Amino acid sequence: MFTSNPFAALSTSIAPAVMQAYVVVMILLVVAGTLFDVVHKGSAKYFFENWRKSKAKGAKQLGGGALVSVAMQTVAVDVLTSGEFCNARRRLAHLLTMYGFVLYVVATVMMVFAYPTPATPTPGLLSFVWWVGALMVCVGGYWFWFFIRVDVAAEGSSPLRVVRADLFILSLLASATLGMIWAVAGGGTGVLFGLYMLATTALFGGVPWSKFAHMFFKPAAAFEKRVSYANETRSNLPAPADKPELFGSARELPRNY
């Protein structure tokens, strides 16, 4: 089971070119949705205005080497290890979901394009990565949804309470969960496949209404914040997670539940 490619089995009912076209459309929807989100919310304008103010007001002018160093810190701390989360449980849940999502998506694309039929045997390791990615998404995502969310863990709200901002996590969980159930059932077309495609389409097509685009904005915001502290402008955002001394004695690290 963990070494099978459900998309190859699907090729007996649906031409591989159809699934490949679907993947391309989903990628285009993410790009278009992100651009719409940038324009609609003014995210890019806000970022560049803060960047300009930071450079103009900074007590220090950062050279190219310093900016590269700041960028490397941003990638290592804020992106790869989610250093902005001070709560260990939320950080671990986020990392499981994030890396699971990456493995799940990359493995899906590779299986659909490189190994679309039984005539092109899928490496067992690739199929295993797909399963591991989907399982990581489910472990991290369901852990967050039922036990770590602020409104559930701190405010006592029902874990079944849903708002529009939950579209990303819910559609991601639905896609990974239904994908695994569909694969266990042997792939092919049918109700399970239809539900899997519906959830996946909501995940990638719902970018303008979900938090999907945040994965692109957060690194930029983290970089701008680090630059503002490096040139002593002091951003209006909390200090970088690995520099708590910049908060001053009167402030505490933010609590991320």
| pLDDT (0 to 100) of residue 252 | 41
pLDDT of residue 257: 37
**Digit-coded pLDDT (tens) for 87-116:** 888 899 999 999 999 999 999 999 999 999
Residue with tokens 């998404």: 137
Taking the C-alpha atoms of residue 64 and residue 48, their distance in angstroms, rounded to an integer, is 18
Tokens of 126: 């690739």
Q: What is the mean pLDDT of residues 159-188?
A: 88
Instruction: Give the mean model confidence (pLDDT) for residues 144-165.
Output: 70
Q: Which residues touch 46 (CB under 8 Å, ≥6 apart)?
A: none
For CA atoms 82, 87, 90, 96, the dihedral sign is positive
Residue 134: predicted pLDDT: 97
| pTM of the model as a whole | 0.78
pLDDT digits (tens, 9 = 90+) for 111-135: 999 999 999 999 999 999 999 999 9
27-39: burial string, b at 16+ Cβ within 10 Å, e else: eebbeebbeebbe
Query: If you average pLDDT over every residue of the chain, what do you get?
Result: 81
Looking at residue 227, its pLDDT comes to 76
Please calculate the CA angle 76-86-82 and round it to the nearest 5 degrees. Answer: 30
**Average of per-residue pLDDT across 167-171:** 92
DSSP state of 147: I
> Which of 210, 182, 185 lies closest to 196, judged by CA?
182
What is the residue extent of each domain of the chain? 6-56+63-230
3-class secondary structure, 127: helix
37-74 pLDDT tens trace: 877 766 666 666 766 666 666 556 667 787 788 888 88
The mean pLDDT of 202-224, rounded to a whole number, is: 81
Kindly tell me if the per-residue pLDDT of 251 is higher than 70.
Answer: no
pLDDT for residue 8 is more than 60: yes
List, in order, residues 6 or more apart from 246 with CB less than 8 Å away.
229, 239, 240
pLDDT at 239 over 90: no
All residues at 6 or more sequence positions from 42 whose CB lies less than 8 Å from its CB, including other chains = none
